[in-house]
Structure 1
Amino acid sequence: MTFRLLQHRAGNGVRSVIAADGDGAHFVPGFESVRALALHAIATKSTLADAVAAAGKGDAMDIVAAFEAGELIAPIDHEDAAHVLMTGTGLTHLGSAEGRDKMHRAAASGENLTDSMRIFLEGLEGGKPAPGQVGQQPEWFYKGDGSQLVGPSDPLTMPAFAKDGGEEPELAGIYIIGPDGTPFRLGLALANEFSDHVTERHNYLWLAHSKLRQAALGPELLVGPPPAHVEGTSRILRDGATIWEKPFLSGEANMSHSLSNLEHHHFKYALFRRPGDIHVHFFGTATLSFSDGVQTREGDVFEIAAAPFALPVRNPLARAADAPVTVQAL
């Protein structure tokens, strides 16, 4: 069974969980957050679908109207943002090496492959191991904690020192760690991973710097078997007009790694299995406006949409004010 979970915050601050199936949606009585619903499902040894069914149906909800009113927040969060970890993997999609290789290639040719191409080819060869086996580990990066997670229509704000603010349309896996340290995948969300590609292009060893940015999730958490093929559209709007648009593909059928392999190489580290923590793990993309020479500006709007998600993730680009930091001896 596949359905979607959303988090709603009314104008008075009251929070609710919404379950959506097809064109219908309703409130889930008794729960104020998806995290609370997930912990309840773990405690009762049930699935999210069973927990939603047992809660019964509350009032019907128009999720399109709620999205346009700004009432839908990210589909996962934690009351303590330090217990949300945002991470990701790159060079995981068929074709994803092309854009990266353009940034990193100088005079490489023949057997003189860039590190980006080498890690992509290694993933292509060993990223989808047979069941029970461990495959090639992917590139991995850290984006920040839950303070860096913004809602589906909130601004994506680059730091004052950023060289660029660019979209990365992809899927993110959403996880919670159970009381015994078991990672549970709650589902998938549409995402804009958002990076500084100019900084990365200067030197690929600055990838870590380029990834320490905010990220946005679409409003829906897709619960159930992950779709093998996801096809969507990523676009940039400037003053209401589309200045760039391109299709993007995701899902295992379009990836050089299986989700299970990416999950293994993230959760094999014990520090990522701390009970109660939330993990938002971005699975990568092969589509970037930066690779097509687009230079974004403050006020541009990133819009990413893909079935089976009914709603997009749509975020304007902003820049933070300069905030000089002085380290003092104590």
Structure 2
Amino acid sequence: MTVVFECIYDDERHFGLGVPEAGAPLRLYPLAGDTLAALLTAAAGDGADTADLLTRGRAAVDVPAADRHRARPLPPLLPAHVGDALVSGFMMTHNVKVGAEVPDQPNWFVKGLGDVLKVPGEALSVPGDAVAVCEEAEVVLVYVGDERGTPRYAGYTFGNDVTDIGRFKQHAGHLSYAKLCDAGVASWLHLGEPPRTVTGEVTVERGGAPAWKGPFTTGVDALHYDLPTMMSRLFSYEALHRPGRVHYVYIGADRSSFHAGFRIGDGDRVTIDVASHGVRLSHPLVWTRRPGQD
């Protein structure tokens, strides 16, 4: 399966192929004014090898391992203007969370625009008056609006849908507030169909030492709902149609540290090791100032 990523190198957008190994050199290709989203759209309709089409006619730029810090990773297909990206998701989608009586479509929520997405290493902001915060290790589907605005599937990545679950538990109608935390996202876009099974482990560190660990299972097979139906119903709404808009849709999570009785605190670091796909996300969590604080 082809995997692509984007980064800023020498003040210009570049892309690369595959998930680079830690400490290894990078091979990048300048976008030179193009967008990766547009290139992928063109490649999808060609039928030829995607990697070959993306790199054809582009001179490779080899970045030594010692200079990798100069390549700043970006969320997959992030538009130049963060207002052209919408970050949203579904809740209570997994079999382990669904009760006897369930709606025919899970609840949908909005987390924000493109600036709520944080790549590994960046801090995830949490409202200062949060009640009880948890991580949510999830598959993230990425869609791009075509020339008519209809969202078209581009690929998937992985993320951490940080949630004030305590606020939601206090009042189910406050889901929209509970979700207004930053979202972690991996830089690697996998161009295949959404994965059926994803497994890994979450580690929460406090003061530099592990404070909680737990496994997770997600992916299409873990969902109570039919994923194509979920997405087609969501994108049937014209309000979500805009040419070039990039949608990042978090499709729900397994049980979290909250369900195990653990409470994440300000300054904790959450690491999601997606072992089945060789992807790792690690973020410190930072509480913002509470309302009224100086």
Whether TM exceeds 0.5 here: the answer is yes
Is 1:168 equivalent to 2:136 in the alignment? yes
Paired with 1:323 and 1:43, the residues of 2 have a C-alpha distance of 47
RMSD: 2.9
Q: How is 1:1-330 mapped onto 2 (pairs within 5 angstroms)?
A: 2-10=1-9, 12-20=10-18, 26-30=27-31, 36-43=35-42, 46=45, 50-54=49-53, 55-56=55-56, 58-59=60-61, 66=68, 71-97=72-98, 118-119=101-102, 122=103, 136-322=104-290, 324=292
- Secondary structure of 1:236's counterpart equals strand
- Secondary structure of 1:96's counterpart equals coil
Q: Is the 8 A contact 2:269 2:282 kept in 1?
A: yes
Paired with 1:69 and 1:237, the residues of 2 have a C-alpha distance of 27
Listed as ranges, the gaps of 5+ residues in structure 1 are 98-115, 123-135, 326-330
Q: Which residue of 2 aligns with 1:131?
A: none
Alpha-carbon deviations, 1:107-150, whole Å to 9, x = none?
Answer: xxxxxxxxx6522xx5xxxxxxxxxxxxx322211111112122
Paired with 1:274 and 1:314, the residues of 2 have a C-alpha distance of 32
Alpha-carbon deviations, 1:252-287, whole Å to 9, x = none?
Answer: 111112321221121010111211101010000122
How many residues are matched? Answer: 287
Paired with 2:66 and 2:207, the residues of 1 have a C-alpha distance of 23
Task: Percent identity, please.
Answer: 24
Moved more, 20-29 or 308-317: 20-29
Q: Is the 8 A contact 2:202 2:273 kept in 1?
A: yes
Q: Is the 8 A contact 2:203 2:270 kept in 1?
A: yes
Paired with 2:244 and 2:87, the residues of 1 have a C-alpha distance of 15
Residue 17 (structure 1) shift = 0.9
Q: Is the 8 A contact 2:13 2:31 kept in 1?
A: no
Listed as ranges, the gaps of 5+ residues in structure 2 are none
Flag the structure with higher strand content. 2
- Secondary structure of 1:264's counterpart equals helix
Q: Is the 8 A contact 2:6 2:74 kept in 1?
A: yes
- Secondary structure of 2:279's counterpart equals coil
TM-score normalised by structure 1 residue count: 0.78
Paired with 1:142 and 1:47, the residues of 2 have a C-alpha distance of 34
